[in-house]
């Protein structure tokens, strides 16, 4: 097991979107985990990075406001995140993997 956070051992991983962070977090202490610490397939690493880079596309950063279609974009982002969580669980068999969806209440 990887030991990169303040917990005695990393056993529970959370997949969650955030600006400027990798997609994986310790589900206990909240430490952002480096994807490179995990032996994921190249395909999964690429898909996780693509998903993370799309995080926040529903925000008009210049106006500091949600775009008109924000709710639909968040729903799509969460659907992809849920699917990726299942893929992460398949590759991290020694860990419990959970997904934390994004909601409009996370913003503003």
pTM: 0.90
Handedness of CA 3, 99, 101, 61 (dihedral sign): positive
**Beta-carbon-side half-sphere exposure of residue 72 (alpha carbons within 13 Å):** 3
Residue 7, token pair as written in the block = 């917990």
| Contact predicate 36/42, CB 8 Å | no
pLDDT tens digits, 29-87:
999 999 999 999 999 999 999 999 999 999 999 998 999 999 999 999 999 999 999 99
Answer whether residue 3 shows pLDDT above 90.
no
Q: Rounding to the nearest 10 degrees, give the CA dihedral for residues 13, 80, 83, 49.
A: -50
Strand segments, DSSP code E, in 17-95 are 24-26, 32-33, 59-60, 65-66
Please give the average per-residue pLDDT across 100-107, as a whole number: 82
């Amino acid at each position: 097991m990887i030991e990169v956070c303040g917990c005695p051992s990393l056993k529970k991983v959370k997949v969650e979107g955030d600006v400027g962070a990798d997609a994986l977090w310790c589900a206990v202490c909240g430490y952002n985990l480096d994807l490179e610490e995990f032996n994921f397939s190249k395909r999964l690493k690429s898909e996780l990075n693509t998903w993370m880079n799309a995080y926040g596309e529903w925000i008009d950063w210049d106006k500091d406001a949600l775009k008109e279609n924000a709710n639909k974009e968040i729903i799509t982002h969460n659907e992809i995140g849920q699917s990726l969580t299942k893929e992460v669980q398949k590759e991290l068999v020694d860990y419990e993997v959970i997904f934390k969806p994004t909601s409009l209440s996370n913003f503003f």
